[in-house]
């Protein structure tokens, strides 16, 4: 199993960036892909998740209306479009995968990093004033 994030970098406040998470080694359409971020000195925070079984999504309140998650099953890739970026969005962004069929109360648990089995290496997003 492999998850590879890309697309991070330095962006000005108010700008946009798109992160990609390329997945391999598991049944992509049966899995959920989550995005988490970890700012310096902070705990890992769930920001978004897509269940590839039905396309349902979750967004944290902090990113709702600014970030959009999409999934391309032909490329086994999930994209996180991040718009109207703020300085507080600066963090390392990780994608993670899990089989939601194995998780009780999935819609409640999907924001917990402990429910995800596979993780990418992370990509840095830095938002400057």
- Other Cβ atoms within 10 Å of 127 Cβ, number: 19
pLDDT value of residue 42: 95
Helices (H), 19-119: 106-109
pLDDT the model gives residue 113: 95
List the strands of the sheet with 17-24, edge to edge: 2-6, 17-24, 77-82, 67-72
The two beta strands, 91-98 and 32-38, are antiparallel
Contact of 4 with 118, CB cutoff 8 Å: no
Average pLDDT, integer, range 95-121? 94
Tell me what the mean pLDDT of segment 107-129 comes to: 95
User: 5 is written with which tokens?
Assistant: 């994030």
pLDDT of residue 129: 84
- For residues 93 and 70, give the distance between their C-alpha atoms in angstroms, rounded to a whole number: 16
Give residue 25's pLDDT. Answer: 97
**Cα(127)–Cα(129) distance, rounded to whole angstroms?**
7
DSSP state of 103: S
Q: Is 2 helix (H, G, I), strand (E, B) or coil?
A: strand
For the stretch 26-74, pLDDT in tens is: 999 999 999 999 999 999 999 999 999 999 999 999 999 999 999 999 9
């Amino acid at each position: 199993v492999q998850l590879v994030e890309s697309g991070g970098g330095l962006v000005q406040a108010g700008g946009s960036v798109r992160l990609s998470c390329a997945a391999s080694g598991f049944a992509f359409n049966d899995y959920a892909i989550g995005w988490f971020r970890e700012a310096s000195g902070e705990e890992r925070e769930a920001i978004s998740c897509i269940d590839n079984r039905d396309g349902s999504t979750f967004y944290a309140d902090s990113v709702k209306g600014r970030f959009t998650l999409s999934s391309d099953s032909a490329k086994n890739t999930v994209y996180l479009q991040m718009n109207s970026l703020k300085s507080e969005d600066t963090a390392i962004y990780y994608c993670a995968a899990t089989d939601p069929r194995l998780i009780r109360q999935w819609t409640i648990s999907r924001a917990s990093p402990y429910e995800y089995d596979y993780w990418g290496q992370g990509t840095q997003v830095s938002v400057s004033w």
